[in-house]
Every structure is written in structure tokens, then in C-alpha cells.
Amino acid sequence: MKKYIFLLLGLSLFVFACSNDDGISNGDTPDPTPGANVTVQNFMWQAMNLWYFWQEDVDVLSDTNFSSNEDYTNFLQATPNPEDFYFDVLLFGDDRFSFLNDDYSELVNNLSGVSRSNGLEFDLNLFDDEFNVFGFVLYILPNSDASTKTIKRGDIFTRVDGQQLTVNNYRDLLFGENSTYTLGLADIVGTQIVDNDTEVTLTKIENQVEDPILVAETLDVNGTKIAYLMYNRFLSSFNVELNDAFGKFVEDGATELVLDMRYNPGGSVNTSRLLASMIYGTNTSDLYIRQRWNSKIQAQLSSGNLEDYFASSFKINPDDEESIPVNTLNLQKIYVLATGSSASASELVMNGLAPYVDIVHIGSTTRGKNEFSITLVDDPENNFPFLYSSTREASINPDNSWGLQPLVGRNENANGFYDYTNGLAPNIILEEDLANMGVLGDPNEPLLAKAIQEITGASSKKGFSVQMPAKSFISSRLQTPLRDNMYLDKPLHIEIE
């Protein structure tokens, strides 16, 4: 019988973190000089020294870097700005995705899909002068302010509150503290973008909740039942709704699946496992992914921590007595729509399924984010030091609200493959077209139409020309605290037979 010992692992990690020879004469971890104003920096260093994936590769995070507590204190004081300390001092040079927030509660809310938003999701690109900026609408969140306005997918905008968007002002105008702004729209004329007189005013709503399932429907194409899922973020708070969508696919008799993750920047690792199970099957003896942590953590985690298998059921909350059976299509082949905006947990599903399922990737090369993260807060007395727990809110240092979301590990699939930092390349290259964005879920929308064409094996396949490739340099999806994060959301434990 397996017993799950949470406290034992927590204590062993804490001892491990504090008992290494760190260059301090008394053998303890470095401790700031009393009275030094370095609370935030000290928390960041201690947390990153224990959990960070590249801890051994960052000299200042070495256990032997400081000769005395005074030396450590001077180091912390040298960079008084916490963001500069985190990004410029502590992070490994190849780390593209670790981030932080000065309010951990905002970070935690965003991990659940709650944010301040007007419901407009868009990309931005540069005009030929590489100074002026235009935006194009990807989709509108249901039940948002934008859903009540006359703006839709494919619309172009160039101005905010009468000002032309530029590389210097777009952040303040679109992602600043302003709760309301007015967009000036434009038309595509030939291959040119030309301003028109239409304006749309949008207001950001506090605690806007995003349902990541934008479209879930079964298409009947000449007798072939094709399930289409437009899935835009891996949110564990919508696991039941995701399972229900697959239950409807099964009920409809779907034998094919088009999984549309073209705008999905990632999210919950466990939700990715559940989605993979809904696609492939519920064989709990088949390995989905295996984790790799830094050497400090890896040595102390059991196989139960390090290995995730396909699921046959799940619980809404860990303490629930009853589990919900996973609805699955049991497919051997799927069609995935993915682009450079598809990252982390989206790529994880593709990589985790690859040993078992033939994946036809239509679109463009994905972002290339194969690391996962955890949320760290100033709670060193936790059994798992600094690891955020909703049950320990009262134990978090009230004088330090910073939350860290560092990369702490990588996932590899059952074949041991993990090296896709350059992204996953498509089998069929097809970019979106600003001149023909189409309606998501409509069989004539170009990327979906291409998938349907591949599924049905149409003998005379039509060509797909692209007039104005929908390229971008930034997405609204990456301007929230959640960004393109892939976060681990299962409890850690030691298994003892």
C-alpha cells in the first residue's frame, strides 16, 4: 500500500537547502545582516537557489558563492529594484520565460483565467516603416465588453484614442492602466491598410473570466463526423467543461478531431494530461510525460512525482471523494492547428501524444517552450519552502507581496524527447491571411478547411493562397500575468511502499 508523505518531503527539501556547504563559516545558508532592507531580494535568492531549473548554471545562485553573511547582504543591496534583481541578476541567459508579479494574488488569479480585460484578443504587427503599428482581432471573449460592441475577428485597427499606434506608445495605450480606450479601425485595400472613420470604445472589466473553450462542435462533412475544438488556454478550473465537450463529441459519433490551439499560450500541465487522455485514451499504464528538475529537487522526488500517466478519471478538487470518468475519443490520428502563438502546454500535448498518436500539424512552427514553472511566494516555513498554497495565505510574509513564476523543470515524452526549444515544425505549412481570417469553426475558415480537406482526402485539393500573412511581434495573450506559462499543479509527495 502506498502512503503519501507530504511533510517528510518538505522537511527533507528544507534540510537539503540549508545543509549544503555554502561558503558561510557556520555551515548555514546565507542570512542577511539584521536591519538590512533586502526582504524581497533575500526571498528571491533563497527561492531560486532551491527551485530554479538552472540553479547550477547561475554563478550567483551557487551554494558556495558567499564567504560571509555580510558578503551576501552586500550582494542583495547592490540591486535595489526587485525586477532588475530577478531578471538581470538571477536568471540564466537562455531563460526566455520566467517572470514575476509584484502582487502574487493577481498572478494566482490569472492562473485560473481571471484577469482585467475588455475581451478583445489581438495581435500587433509593424507597418513597412517598422515604427508605426497596427492590430488585428483574433477573437472576442463571450460575455465580455467587446462581445457587445461592433467589432469582430479580422478587424484591423491603427489608432487608440486618436493616436497612431507606434513602437513607443502601444504598451501604454493598449496595456496600460487606462480602463477604457477607443480604437480607430481600418480597411485592407489590395495589400494596403487604409484608415476609415469607424471607432469602437472598449472598457476593461475587473475579474473577467475566460472560458478557454471558444468553439466545440461536431461537423458533418459528407457523412464524416469531425469534432472541432477551439481551445485557447489550459485552465484547470474548466476541466469539467472540457470533459463535457468530449462527452458530446462521443455522443455525436465523431471519428475525427481537429484540435485548434493556434492561439493557445499554455497553462496547466495536469489539464494537458487530461486533454491528451480525452484524445488518445484512458490507459493509465501508458506514460504521458516525465519531469526533469534541478539536481537538488530531482534526487528527492519519487517516480510518482516525476511521471504522469494518461488518466481514466479526475477530481474537481483533490479532496473530493468521487472522481469524474474521462470521456475519450480513443483516436490514433488527429489534426492540430498550431502556430507561433501555440506554446508550453499546447506543445506538451503534441509532444506527449506523439509516441501514441499520428499528429498532422497544420499551420506554422510553434513557440518552443518546453519548461514548466511553479508559483513561489515568501513563505519559507512551508513544508515545501516558498511554494504557494492557497491554504497558507496567512503564512505568507505580509511585508512582501511579490510572486515568482520561474522555470523549474522540463517535460519529456515516453520516448525521452524534449528538445523542441526551436518549436515544433508543421507537416503542412499554412499561415493565416489578414485578408481572409474567416470565422472560427466555419468549415470554410482556411486552416480548418485545410484540415477537413486532409481528413476527407479530397481528390482535387484546392490551393490555399495567402494575400497578407498575419504575422505579429506581440499578442494580447502575452500581456497578462499568466502569459505563456506552463505551470505544474499537482501535489508533491514521497511514495513509500
Residue intervals in the chain for CATH 3.90.226.10: 213-281+326-370+420-467
Q: What is the mean pLDDT of residues 118-128?
A: 95
Q: Which fold has domain 213-281+326-370+420-467?
A: 2-enoyl-CoA Hydratase; Chain A, domain 1 (3.90.226)
Average pLDDT, the chain: 90
149-172 tens-digit pLDDT: 999 999 999 999 999 999 999 999
Residue intervals in the chain for CATH 2.30.42.10: 115-209
Please give the pLDDT value at position 483.
61
Please give the pLDDT value at position 115.
73
Please give the pLDDT value at position 206.
86
Q: If one looks up domain 115-209 in CATH, what number appears?
A: 2.30.42.10
Higher-pLDDT residue of 487 and 369 is 369
455-479 tens-digit pLDDT: 998 755 667 899 999 999 999 987 7
Q: What is the mean pLDDT of residues 447-459?
A: 91
217-261 tens-digit pLDDT: 999 999 999 999 999 999 999 999 999 999 999 999 999 999 999
DSSP codes joined into one string, 72-95: HHHHHHT--SHHHIIIIIIS-TT-
Q: What is the mean pLDDT of residues 388-397?
A: 93
**Is the per-residue pLDDT at 16 higher than 90?**
no
The winner for highest mean pLDDT among 8-22, 361-375, 437-451 is 437-451
Are 472 and 133 contacting, i.e. CB atoms less than 8 angstroms apart? Answer: no
Please give the pLDDT value at position 491.
59
Beta strands at 403-405 and 99-101: parallel, antiparallel or unpaired: antiparallel
Q: Is the dihedral of CA 3, 6, 7, 9 positive or negative?
A: positive
Higher-pLDDT residue of 111 and 320 is 320
In whole angstroms, give the CA distance from residue 119 to residue 141. 5
Q: What is the mean pLDDT of residues 380-395?
A: 92
**Is the per-residue pLDDT at 23 higher than 60?**
no
Distinct helix (H) and strand (E) counts, the chain: 12, 25
Please give the pLDDT value at position 6.
35
The DSSP secondary-structure symbol of 294 reads -
**Is the per-residue pLDDT at 299 higher than 50?**
yes
**Is the per-residue pLDDT at 301 higher than 90?**
no
- In this prediction, residue 96 has a pLDDT band, given cuts at 50, 70 and 90, of confident
Please give the pLDDT value at position 320.
84
Residue 26: count of CB within 10 angstroms of its CB: 8
33-43 tens-digit pLDDT: 999 999 999 99
